[in-house]
Homo-oligomer: A and B are copies of this chain.
Amino acid sequence: MQFELDRRRPGQSRITTPRKETDTCTILSGVSNGLTLGTPIAVNVPNTDQRGGDYSEMSVAYRPSHADATYDFKYGVRAVQGGGRSSARETIGRVAAGAVAKKVLQKISGTEVLAFVSRVHGVELPDGAVDFDKLTLEQVESNIVRCPDPIVAEKMIEAIDKVRVKGDSVGGVVTCIARNVPRGLGSPVFDKLEAELAKALMSLPATKGFEVGSGFSGTLLTGSEHNDEFFVDEDGSVRTRTNRSGGIQGGISNGETIVLRVAFKPTSTITKSQKTVTRDKQETELRARGRHDPCVVPRAVPMVEAMVALVLVDHLLQQYAQCQLFPVDPILQAAPVTKESEPTPV
């Protein structure tokens, strides 16, 4: 859990917010002698480096494109220190829970969830640059921007540095894969696996888009180009040669690697001067102080992994409830794909 929180914490490198937080976690309940007890697991992660003064201007005027205006519209209150309810600090809870979910997935089905930065502003990792079957956590963690290609990573860092020194920000894209996902997770209508993943990921702060498999670019193909043809592999499993479906067909996982992409907008809090209005409707200019991320995607990588892991573990539990009472024909329900699998080009 601490490892994952360290990947998320502020101040981890020069391209994140300079605010220093150790984000040290303490487990208060639910675990004893290294085992969960069946009771809720409560985790405490105190704040240490928050400067209330940084938020003084913002307590008067709304930050453009930030949640503090809409929060006020809805609830009629403001609690701006640290961003209030809309602070990305709430993602600590997601990452902590995701650490537990990853462990369950690893143990039950050998499922691995791995995300990385595939775009920062105009710098994009080309399609096919990453071999989804061989990608490792070490490759992702080998640089501060969390892009597994060291040359592209260097360009991304440059792009962030360029806006950072101006007090501006940039957006980017995080790609996430899940390998060895058992077949059959999901649901055929409203709770499709892609729908649940979309909700989970679009609930992260600053997200503007979600794709699974071929995504928006899949609309440029014809059906005969897009369809993933089936074959029987040497182990007797029904597999697909391509994976434009992104591991999910009709709301249900098919055993191929799940592939998805999430768009994050540029951080809204910037130190450049912007026009805005105050709570009592006076037009004004705001130049935010505070210490904010010039680009959120490097820190978003563990958040994306956490949300994907939480959705998958939920569906794994549902699968046991729904389909393990009367186990289906073992010929159909292949065991989770745990072997070294063939590369499946997207």
A27 at the interface (CB under 8 A from B): no
Which of B73, B211, B225 interacts with A209 by CB under 8 Å? B211
Q: How many angstroms between the C-alpha atoms of A89 and B229 in the bound complex?
A: 24
Q: A86-B188, A223-B267, A281-B232 are in contact. Are A218 and B69 (CB under 8 A)?
A: no
Q: Does B69 contact A230, Cβ atoms closer than 8 Å?
A: yes
A175 at the interface (CB under 8 A from B): no
Nearest-CB distance from A213 to chain B (Å)? 6
Q: Does B202 contact A208, Cβ atoms closer than 8 Å?
A: no
Most buried by B among A70, A248, A316: A70
Nearest-CB distance from A189 to chain B (Å)? 6
Q: How many angstroms between the C-alpha atoms of A38 and B269 in the bound complex?
A: 22
Q: Does B325 contact A218, Cβ atoms closer than 8 Å?
A: no
Copies in the complex: 4
Q: How many angstroms between the C-alpha atoms of A70 and B194 in the bound complex?
A: 14
A298 at the interface (CB under 8 A from B): no
Q: Would you give the 0/1 interface string for A209-240, flagging 1 where the beta carbon is closer than 8 Å to chain B?
A: 11111111011111111111111100010101
Which of B71, B188, B191, B264 interacts with A71 by CB under 8 Å? B188
Q: Does A238 contact B281, Cβ atoms closer than 8 Å?
A: yes
Q: How large is the interface on A (under 10, 10 to 19, 20 to 34, 35 or more residues)?
A: 35 or more
Residue of B nearest to A90 (CB): B189
Q: Which of A153-167 contact B (CB under 8 A)?
A: 163
Q: How many angstroms between the C-alpha atoms of A221 and B265 in the bound complex?
A: 8
Which of these binds chain B: A50-58, A75-83, A125-133, A136-144?
A75-83
Q: Does A75 contact B38, Cβ atoms closer than 8 Å?
A: yes
Q: Does B328 contact A65, Cβ atoms closer than 8 Å?
A: no
Nearest-CB distance from A149 to chain B (Å)? 18
Q: Does B323 contact A74, Cβ atoms closer than 8 Å?
A: yes
Q: A104-B325, A224-B168, A332-B76 are in contact. Are A275 and B231 (CB under 8 A)?
A: yes
Q: Does B210 contact A202, Cβ atoms closer than 8 Å?
A: yes
Q: Would you give the 0/1 interface string for A84-107, flagging 1 where the beta carbon is closer than 8 Å to chain B?
A: 111000100000000000001001
Q: How many angstroms between the C-alpha atoms of A252 and B199 in the bound complex?
A: 15
Q: Does B209 contact A202, Cβ atoms closer than 8 Å?
A: no
Most buried by B among A67, A198, A213, A246: A198
| Interface residues of A, Cβ cutoff 8 Å to B | 32, 35-39, 62, 64-77, 79, 84-86, 90, 104, 107-108, 119, 121-122, 163, 168-173, 183-184, 186, 188-192, 194-203, 205, 207-216, 218-232, 236, 238, 240, 244-246, 248-255, 263-270, 272, 274-277, 279-283, 316-326, 328-329, 331-334
Q: Which 6 A-B pairs have the closest CB atoms?
A: A67-B250, A76-B328, A199-B199, A169-B223, A38-B75, A70-B252
